[in-house]
Amino acid sequence: MPELKIVKNATCTFCGCVCDDIELHAEGERVVETKRACSLGESWFKHHTAERLYPDALIDGKPATVDDAVEVAAEYLYRAHMPLVYGLSNTTCEAQREAVFLAELIGGVIDSHTSL
């Protein structure tokens, strides 16, 4: 039986409410209880486990290492005349800042879900 880990005042990132009063109970690789979360938040936390369900990376659909994938990604973006960096919703502000820096380096367009 894995040890029960309790995280108080956890933050839910499913919707724009970003409720930060959730109590999470985690056992090993999954969240088993989400106190005060709504039904959407509960399924969000329980749906994302820490299991290794997918390969680290895929290049042309074939499993690859992150090191190789990073190099190939950098090469594609570097070679492009007009690359696009898009999304930015379901990620952290720290990653968004890196995305802006990258977009500036490669001389690309940066855009989020707001434009939809």
Partner 1 sequence: MGGKVTCTLGEVKNRADFIIYWGGNPAECHPRHFTKYTLTQKGKFVPTGRKGRTMVLVDIRETPSAKAADVFLQVRPGKDFEMVAALRALVKGQPVDPALVAETGLTVEQLQDFVNQMKSCKFGVLFFGMGLSMTRGKHMNSASVLALAAELNAFTKFVAMPMRGHGNVTGADVILRYTTGYPFGINLCRGYPRFNPGEFSTVDLLVRGDNDASLILGADPGATMPQPAIEHLARTPTIVLDPKVTHTSKISRVHITTAATGVSAPGTVYRMDEVPLPLRPALKSPYPTDEEVMRRIREAVMKKPAWLPAANGRLAARA
Task: Report the site for partner 1 in 39-98 (rule: CB under 8 A).
Answer: 39-40, 44-45, 48-50, 52-61, 66, 69-74, 76-98
Q: Residue 4, interface with partner 1 (CB under 8 A)?
A: no
Q: Residue 115, interface with partner 1 (CB under 8 A)?
A: yes
Q: Residue 35, interface with partner 1 (CB under 8 A)?
A: no
Instruction: Report which secondary-structure segment, H or E, holds 110.
Output: strand 109-112
CB of 38 to partner 1, least distance (A): 4
The Cα 107–Cα 79 span in angstroms is 11
